[in-house]
């Protein structure tokens, strides 16, 4: 019975998250991406943080009432992963197959998708924002269950690193869902289609793989790391967050109110008369200092488990390197095409791609 229930668990959770997203109050927001046919900016109804909070309360309530053990998602993790894998695959087939080809080979279409920005009811549910919401909330539930498992099995001998790592991941999820509006201005939303990469990526990969640091260490004993080791991991995470959140916010404000200072930094930009690019603050350090921030945050999460000698927690920051370094190349090509000579000027002004003074 447990394998079947475990397999069905993500299906039930995804259905509950979808219902919460649909029925809980939300803010209507005009986004950055224009409809490919009408040219009008797309509208979105966003309520990610509220859905997250209600989901966590439900998780606590079910545990408290002893209807579902706090560590259920840990106990059934492999079955649950198999269920999520199946949902991700079925969703990807469903969102790609019935729609006209983009002219690329079938496998490219399947992987990258055919539809640009599918929405239901004029944006009440936007496929991309829904996918990110499901991934983020399910990740958080896995994090709670995995650290809950550690507490239940180790009691007083539990490792503070597990709770620190869980707290940092929780912060990461809250941060993402608190700034959903800012993420409407990011690459996935304006440059990608919905296929296996985004569909399977958010329904399967994101909620399970992002928990790999905890998955691989919650059964281990307390490594007895000195407090400064944990403090160092937390500081690394915080430094990364400042780069990632700071750069994203500075660009967001620049796009909506080009004159508005951010953290006291007055925006400096270069322009060709039609378009402009920021050249100071975070965007003067490197052309993608936010990617560096994301990688540092992931290192902080891996290190905070207290097991720097085990490979598994490091898979998380390594994945970011594999994702974001090629993405920087793609974005560079896209921006060179969009901004023309201005992009060349920007590259002369801001020399480093990701890591200031190094790369
Ligand atoms: P960016 O936020 O760096 O956005 C790149 C775009 O910003 C460009 O295409 C261009 O778009 C615009 N831009 C570039 N340079 C400038 C400039 N100097 N001035 C003004 N606009 C500029 O990258 P992403 O969208 O890839 O990433 C967004 C965030 O999401 C990052 O923090 C990233 O690390 C994070 N991320 C997180 C992931 C996760 O799993 N946690 C996965 C992937 C990304 P335009 O045409 O609009 O000008």
SS3 assignment for 50-64: HHHHHHHHHHHHHHH
pLDDT of residue 80: 98
Q: How far apart are CA 162 and CA 168, in angstroms?
A: 10
Residue 228 tokens, joined? 């400064």
Q: Where are the domains of the chain?
A: 1-158
Distance 296 CA to ligand 1 centre (A): 17
Closest atom of ligand 1 to 334 CA is: 9
pLDDT in tens, 190-208: 889 999 999 999 999 999 9
DSSP string, 218-262: TTSPP----HHHHHHHHHHHHHHHHHHHHHHHHHHHHHH-TT--B
Q: How far is the CA of 290 from the centre of ligand 1 (A)?
A: 8
Atom nearest to 191 CA in ligand 1: 9
pTM: 0.92
What 3-state DSSP class applies to 41? strand
| Residue 105, burial from CB neighbour count under 10 angstroms (0-12, 13-18, 19+) | exposed
**119-156 pLDDT per residue, tens:** 999 889 999 999 999 999 999 999 999 999 999 999 99
Half-sphere exposure of 273 (CA within 13 A, CB side): 1
At 16 the pLDDT is: 98
What tokens appear for 211 in the block? 């928990």
Contact between 161 and 306 (Cβ < 8 Å): yes
CA–centroid distance, residue 250 to ligand 1 (Å): 11
Q: Tell me how far the alpha carbon of residue 252 lies from the centroid of ligand 1, in angstroms.
A: 10
Site residues for ligand 1, CB cut-off 6 Å: 186-187, 244, 248, 251, 254, 277-278, 283, 288, 290-291, 294, 327, 331, 334-335, 338, 346
Q: In which band, very low, low, confident or very high, does the pLDDT at 273 lie, cut at 50, 70 and 90?
A: confident
Q: Please, which pLDDT band fits residue 17 given cuts at 50, 70 and 90?
A: very high
Question: Phi/psi at 310 (nearest 5 deg)?
Answer: -95, 140
CA atoms of 268 and 200, how far apart (whole Å): 40
Query: Tens digit of pLDDT for each residue in 69-117?
Result: 999 999 999 999 999 999 999 999 999 999 999 999 999 999 999 999 9
What's the pLDDT tens digit per position in 297-337?
Answer: 999 999 999 999 999 999 999 999 999 999 899 889 999 99
The pLDDT, as a whole number, for residue 302 is: 97
Cα–Cα dist 158/51, whole Å: 30
Higher pLDDT, 57 or 271: 57
């Amino acid at each position: 019975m447990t394998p079947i229930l475990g397999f069905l668990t993500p299906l039930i959770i995804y259905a509950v998250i979808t219902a919460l997203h649909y029925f809980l109050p939300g803010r209507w927001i005009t986004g950055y991406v224009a409809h490919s046919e009408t040219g009008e900016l797309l509208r979105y109804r966003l309520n990610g943080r509220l859905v997250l909070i209600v989901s966590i309360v439900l998780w606590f309530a079910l545990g408290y009432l002893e209807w579902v053990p706090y560590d259920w998602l840990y106990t059934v993790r492999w079955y649950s992963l198999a269920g999520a894998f199946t949902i991700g695959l079925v969703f990807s087939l469903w969102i790609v197959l019935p729609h006209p080809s983009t002219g690329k080979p079938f496998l490219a279409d399947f992987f990258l998708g055919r539809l640009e920005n599918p929405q239901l009811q004029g944006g009440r549910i936007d496929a991309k924002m829904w996918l990110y919401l499901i991934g983020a909330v399910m990740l958080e539930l896995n994090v709670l269950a995995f650290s809950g498992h550690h507490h239940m099995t180790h009691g007083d001998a539990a490792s503070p690193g597990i709770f620190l790592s869980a707290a940092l991941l929780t912060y990461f999820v809250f941060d993402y869902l608190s700034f959903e509006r800012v993420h409407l201005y990011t690459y996935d939303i304006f440059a990608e289609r919905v296929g296996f990469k985004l569909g399977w990526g958010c329904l399967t990969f994101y909620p399970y793989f992002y928990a790999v640091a905890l998955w691989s260490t919650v059964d281990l004993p307390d490594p007895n790391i000195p407090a400064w080791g944990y403090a160092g991991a937390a500081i690394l995470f915080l430094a990364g967050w400042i780069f990632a959140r700071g750069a994203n916010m500075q660009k967001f404000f620049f796009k909506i109110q080009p004159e508005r200072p951010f953290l006291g930094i007055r925006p400096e930009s270069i322009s060709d008369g039609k378009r402009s690019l920021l050249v100071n603050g975070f965007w003067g350090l490197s052309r993608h200092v936010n990617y560096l921030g994301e990688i540092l945050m992931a290192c902080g999460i891996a290190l905070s488990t207290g097991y720097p000698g085990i490979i598994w927690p490091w898979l998380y920051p390594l994945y970011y390197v594999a994702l974001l370094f090629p993405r920087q190349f793609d974005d560079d090509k896209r921006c060179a095409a969009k901004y023309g000579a201005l992009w060349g000027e920007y590259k002369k002004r801001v020399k480093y791609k990701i890591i200031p003074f190094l790369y």
